[in-house]
Structure 1
Amino acid sequence: MPFLNISCYKFVPLPDAAELRDVLRARAAAADLKGTILLAGEGINFFLAGTAQAVRDFVGALKQDERFADLDPKESWSATVPFRKMLVKVKREIIRMDHPAIQPAQGRAPSVDPVTLRRWLETGRDDEGREVVTLDTRNAFEVDAGTFEGAIDWRIGKFTEFPPALRAHKAELQDKTVVSFCTGGIRCEKAAILMREEGLPHVYQLEGGILKYFELTDGAHYRGGCFVFDDRAVLGPDLAADPEGKRAGTPPDIPHNATTK
């Protein structure tokens, strides 16, 4: 598997997002990288692929900016580059929720690491003995490719539908420990902050999302694969492309070049 794929995001104020776009576009082109980089006032979200040296050199250069010094990309490998081109865009949000009061850079919700979540799922209880439920914050077609056993799935069609879905179901979560999860961590981070804001006291985000869970555990308590927004379509718990994963049946407006959510 000669090509390294990385996904990463960070919520951090970027008032110079437009200037960064030009710098990162030139740097990625010089390294012959493919993928997507999204920039916004609230942070950065990217998914890149190329040779290991080129990818790691790109990340190393990015870390020279103190705002990105602690980036910790999730890694997987592929036989071919799963992106068709390199896109660098400035957006209003790096993941659209249409809830401007949610500002993760001003304070994150508590997180649970994958190894701890696996242990909790063994018994269905957290370390305080409270019932644990997992909440899938992804779109319905992504959930259909795979999810945690017994995960709550509100069948949302896009992330902007998450706030009203939460308000409709909030009472069902009140006395439980809720672990929100998504592909790479970005959606479940915003979701966890919103749930805290809405008065749910025992909420965690899965640190690094499903991809980090696959990387750090044996994938126990997860069924199926993880949909990713590139030509691999679905990754198995070994982080390899699932040969059974099909792009057929996914919404036609899903771009091949998009970032892990």
Structure 2
Amino acid sequence: MKNYRILLYYCYTHIQDPEQFREEHHRYCLENGILGRIIVAQEGLNGTVSGLKEDCEKYMHDLKADPRFSNTDFKIEAYEKHAFQKLHVRVKPEIVHSGLQHINPIKKTGVHLEPEEFKKLKNQQDVVLLDVRSNYEHNVGKFKNALTLDIENFRDFPEKIQELEHLKDKKIITYCTGGIKCEKASAYLLEQGFENVYQLHGGIIKYGLEAGGEDFEGKCYVFDNRIVVDINKVNPVTVSRCFICDTECDRMVNCANPICNNHVPICEKCGWEMEGACTPACKEHPEKRPYDGTGYYQKQMNGYNPYKGLIRKV
């Protein structure tokens, strides 16, 4: 029974006091059974959380009841358990690290395309699909014929714009996992002189949920303990290969060596043989984490105290 829900969402809006909001929102999540990762900044809110169906419905209702977040678009997926083991609510300078803090997507961003609109436009001759995600994400799955960039993190995106100069006469449609990176990526393209800029509203996840995921090849990397999810219900194919044995494989693993923590496809057989490591050296590393067959490891707290500023109930 899939009694739980996974919510992926973001909202660009002004939060006057992010620290105060963090404390209040963290308390709310603890009291209502919500786990996951939430980023708070003056520019808005970005979260991936999980909880029981009724708890998630309450969370969405209560968040949207706040005028600041009334336009939040939730991507909702059913699941059989929590997709997280812990709750992290952190204040950061940006809700997605881009280095483009001067850009305000509320004022100007690429034209939003709903999934069905995107489906109609994506194969037109004058259209370029631009994947703005990192290498480890698009290596396991991307749209057919999409242009990918060699970037390790989204903050590297601005440095790659010069590689796109020859496409200024095309319609550029950016896409990412849930839509948040595209808000700033498309806005930055406009700032740099690109004129026909669009974005897939709600990202790959919403496209899969609402339009069947046609022509998304491989799987979509997600930031919870599922690691990757199926998107395409129409014409699915596998595009990645096992990092170790080179057989066809779309099973993503985080290397068990925390110093490496490489995100690569590793088949189940090699996963167990290598104990979740991506190389023999990583397998022998003294800090290697125990492998449970999933290749997912909860992030370290790094000094983060989930109860900071909260009064524990007796």
Secondary structure of the 2:252 match is coil
Secondary structure of the 2:206 match is helix
- 1:98-177 to structure 2, matched below 5 A, reads 98-121=99-122, 124-125=123-124, 131-166=126-161, 168-177=162-171
Counterpart CA distance in 2 for 1:30 and 1:18 is 19
The residue that corresponds to 2:253 in the other structure is 247
After TM superposition, give the deviation of residue 249 of structure 1 in Å: 5.1
After TM superposition, give the deviation of residue 31 of structure 1 in Å: 1.0
- Among 229, 232, 251, the alignment partner of 1:235 is 229
Matched, 1:179 2:173: yes
After TM superposition, give the deviation of residue 189 of structure 1 in Å: 1.2
Counterpart CA distance in 2 for 1:256 and 1:152 is 31
Letter in 2 for 1:55: C
Secondary structure of the 2:159 match is helix
Mapped contact 1:215–1:238 kept (Cα < 8 A): no
| C-alpha RMSD of the superposition | 2.2
**Quick one: structure 1 residues 83 and 257, their matched pair in 2 at CA, closer, same or farther if it must change by over 3 Å?**
farther
Mapped contact 2:94–2:101 kept (Cα < 8 A): no
The residue that corresponds to 1:25 in the other structure is 26
The residue that corresponds to 1:51 in the other structure is 52
Counterpart CA distance in 2 for 1:218 and 1:58 is 27
After TM superposition, give the deviation of residue 187 of structure 1 in Å: 0.5
5+ residue gaps, structure 1, are none
**Quick one: structure 1 residues 91 and 236, their matched pair in 2 at CA, closer, same or farther if it must change by over 3 Å?**
same
Secondary structure of the 1:212 match is helix
Counterpart CA distance in 1 for 2:15 and 2:262 is 28
**Quick one: structure 1 residues 257 and 188, their matched pair in 2 at CA, closer, same or farther if it must change by over 3 Å?**
farther
Q: State which structure, 1 or 2, has the greater radius of gyration over its C-alpha atoms.
A: 2
Identical aligned pairs, as a percentage?
A: 29
Mapped contact 2:113–2:200 kept (Cα < 8 A): yes
Post-superposition CA distance 1:39-66 (Å, at most 9, x none): 0011000111010110111121112211
The residue that corresponds to 2:198 in the other structure is 204
Letter in 2 for 1:219: G
After TM superposition, give the deviation of residue 245 of structure 1 in Å: 2.6
Q: TM-score under structure 1 normalisation?
A: 0.89
The residue that corresponds to 1:215 in the other structure is 209
- Alignment length (residue pairs): 249
5+ residue gaps, structure 2, are 239-248, 264-296, 301-314
Letter in 2 for 1:145: V
Post-superposition CA distance 1:228-252 (Å, at most 9, x none): 011101010169xx99532245961
**Quick one: structure 1 residues 156 and 229, their matched pair in 2 at CA, closer, same or farther if it must change by over 3 Å?**
same
